């Protein structure tokens, strides 16, 4: 059983920053033992993660970075005070999201991430939750997300759709057929009027075009569904016109 609590719903920008942080954490591989944190930074990060129950006996990957690096790796072209504020506000929302898991006889509770930031220097220390840590280390099931697509200039609907599809469709794997209604339900929640539904359909089509333009995705309309496939990992962003389409599995 999984239960999630948060004070503020997470949005497309939060997903973008989290994906970037996890990507950078994969290169870091610096672990802290949540049962026995040693340094003052490690103790502060543990306090932010708030591990409880069996999560106290797990580990977390930590990352020493900067606000500038996170923005750059996320694909931001501006490093203005506004962009920096957007990142800090997102960290507040992400660190305020708590997961509660029950897995057999085990019970875990922890926040999505912990952080310590120096707003004057931009220095940033991060710790990702134990389950994300397991995924990064290859000890838990994970989804492949191409950071080139994360850095693309996507609208919020396209970014949310992208995150959902990355959990469903494997790179270079078989196409998945997904109802249009299901795609929309993973972008927008709640019932809506007929006119609003029409606008959602238009926005979905626009989001699909955005994802196709990354060259990593192919969508084929089939009645009320789309057949969706992903390019293989590390696909060529600029294929030879003579072989265009050969790198796509459709």
Residue-wise pLDDT for 209-224, tens only, equals 999 999 999 999 999 9
Assigned domain for 94 exists: yes
Higher-scoring residue by pLDDT: 250, 2: 2
Domain total in the chain: 2
Co-location of 159 and 228 in the same domain: yes
Q: In this structure, are 52 and 124 located in the same domain?
A: yes
Give the residue-averaged pLDDT of 131-160. 92
Q: Give the structural domain span for 66.
A: 2-136
Q: Is residue 119 part of a domain?
A: yes
Asked if residue 113 and residue 55 are part of one domain, the reply reads yes
Does residue 184 sit within a domain? Answer: yes
181, 99: one domain: no
94 has a pLDDT exceeding 50: yes
- Per-residue model confidence (pLDDT) at position 247: 23
Final residue in a domain of this structure, among 79, 109, 136: 136
Task: Please say if the pLDDT value at position 66 is more than 50.
Answer: yes
Per the domain annotation, does 141 fall within a domain?
no
Sheet containing 123-128: which strands, arranged edge to edge?
A: 30-33, 59-66, 123-128, 113-117
CATH number of the domain encompassing residue 28: 1.10.10
Q: Are residues 85 and 52 in the same domain?
A: yes
Structure confidence at residue 121 (pLDDT): 85
Domain boundary among 79, 108, 136: 136
Q: In what order do the strands lie in the sheet with 176-179?
A: 176-179, 225-230, 217-222
Q: Is there a domain that residue 248 lies in? A: no
> 128 and 59, same structural domain?
yes
Q: Which of 41-45, 74-78, 170-174, 176-180 has the highest mean pLDDT?
A: 176-180
More confident residue, 120 or 44: 44
**Are 221 and 172 in a shared domain?**
yes
Is the distance from CB of 156 to CB of 84 less than 8 angstroms? no
Q: Is residue 142 part of a domain?
A: no
Q: Which of 136, 156, 191 is the last residue of a domain?
A: 136
Type and span of the H or E element at 209: helix 194-213
Q: Exposed, middle or buried by CB within 10 Å (0-12, 13-18, 19+), for 104?
A: exposed
| Domain co-membership, 172 together with 77 | no
What predicted TM-score, i.e. pTM, was given to this entire model?
A: 0.85
Which of 139, 133, 147 is closest to 58 using CA atoms? 133
Say if CB 206 and CB 155 are below 8 A apart: yes
Please check whether residue 115 lies inside any domain of the structure.
yes
In a shared domain, residues 122 and 169: no
Specify whether 65 is located in the same domain as 182: no
**Are residues 177 and 210 located together in one domain of the fold?**
yes
Asked if pLDDT for residue 249 goes beyond 60, the answer is: no
Check if the beta carbon of residue 161 is closer than 8 Å to that of residue 211: yes
Residue 175 shares a structural domain with residue 120 = no
């Amino acid at each position: 059983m999984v239960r999630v609590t948060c004070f503020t719903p997470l949005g497309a920008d939060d997903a973008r920053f989290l994906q970037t942080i996890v990507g950078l954490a994969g290169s870091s591989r610096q672990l802290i033992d949540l049962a026995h944190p040693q340094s003052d930074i490690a103790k502060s990060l543990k306090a932010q993660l708030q591990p409880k129950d069996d999560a106290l006996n797990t580990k977390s990957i930590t990352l020493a970075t900067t606000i500038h690096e996170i923005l750059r790796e996320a694909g931001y072209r501006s490093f203005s005070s506004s962009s920096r504020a957007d990142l800090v506000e997102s960290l507040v929302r992400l660190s305020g999201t708590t997961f509660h898991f029950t897995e057999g006889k085990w019970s875990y509770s922890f926040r999505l991430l912990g952080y310590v930031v120096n707003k004057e220097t931009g220095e940033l220390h991060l710790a990702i939750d134990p389950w994300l840590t397991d995924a990064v280390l290859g000890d838990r099931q994970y989804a492949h997300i191409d950071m080139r697509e994360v850095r693309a200039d996507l609208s919020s609907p396209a970014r949310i759709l992208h995150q959902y599809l990355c959990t469903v469709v494997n790179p270079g794997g078989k196409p998945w057929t997904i109802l249009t209604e299901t795609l929309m339900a993973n972008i927008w929640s709640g019932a809506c009027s007929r006119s609003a539904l029409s606008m959602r359909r238009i926005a979905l089509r626009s989001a699909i075009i955005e994802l196709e333009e990354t060259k990593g995705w192919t969508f084929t309309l089939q009645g009320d569904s789309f057949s969706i496939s992903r390019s293989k990992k590390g696909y060529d962003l600029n294929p030879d016109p003579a072989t265009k389409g050969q790198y796509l599995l459709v």
